[in-house]
Amino acid sequence: MLFVPGDQPRMLARARQVPADALILDLEDAVAAADKPRARTLVAQALAEGFPASTAVCVRPNSRGTGLLEEDLAILRGLGGALGASGAADQVRHLRRVCRQLLLQAESAREGNELVVRLWRYAGFGCGALLAILLA
């Protein structure tokens, strides 16, 4: 069994060549909080590209207490129904659609993060100005 951090594209690619009975694509401990959206995207892309048929592939989602489990499971739910009842061409189509969706979600998360950073900067400036006025 080989655990592969979901945010490491080189390791995900290399995992295809390693003789392992099972690969665990890790979205939990091995991935820093800031890299979780990117890890979801990379894992979905790796699943879309496929792994050797002789290797069992599992995804280790985040735990319930983190608030990230639903986002992880949404990706897997989207893949599960489509992949279980379709042919190879349909599976590739479904995986590509999921990858596009993940890229959009990652971009949305990045924009949200930038907004929070700007708001904290403005708040810091405002607090600093208020402090300067009070001390003057």
Residue 51 has pLDDT above 60, yes or no: yes
Per the CB < 8 A criterion, the answer to whether 40 and 79 are in contact is no
Rounded to whole angstroms, what are the CA distances from 131 to 58, 127, 128?
53, 6, 5
Two tokens, residue 9 = 């594209």
Two tokens, residue 87 = 């042919």
Residue 86 has pLDDT above 60, yes or no: no
For residue 91, what pLDDT is reported? 63
Distance CA 26, CA 3 (A): 6
Per-position DSSP letters for 94-132, written without gaps between them: HHHHHHHHHHHHHHHHHHHHHHHHHHHHHHHHHHHHHHH
Residue 93 has pLDDT above 70, yes or no: no
Look up the CATH number of domain 2-110: 3.20.20.60
High-pLDDT (> 70) share of the chain, % = 83
3-state class (DSSP) for residue 135: helix
**What distance lies between CA 34 and its chain's CA centroid?**
10
Top-confidence residue, 109 or 43: 43
For residue 111, what pLDDT is reported? 83
Distance CA 6, CA 29 (A): 10
Top-confidence residue, 86 or 105: 105
Top-confidence residue, 80 or 76: 76
Q: Is 58 left (phi over 0), alpha (psi -120 to 50) or beta?
A: beta
For residue 82, what pLDDT is reported? 46
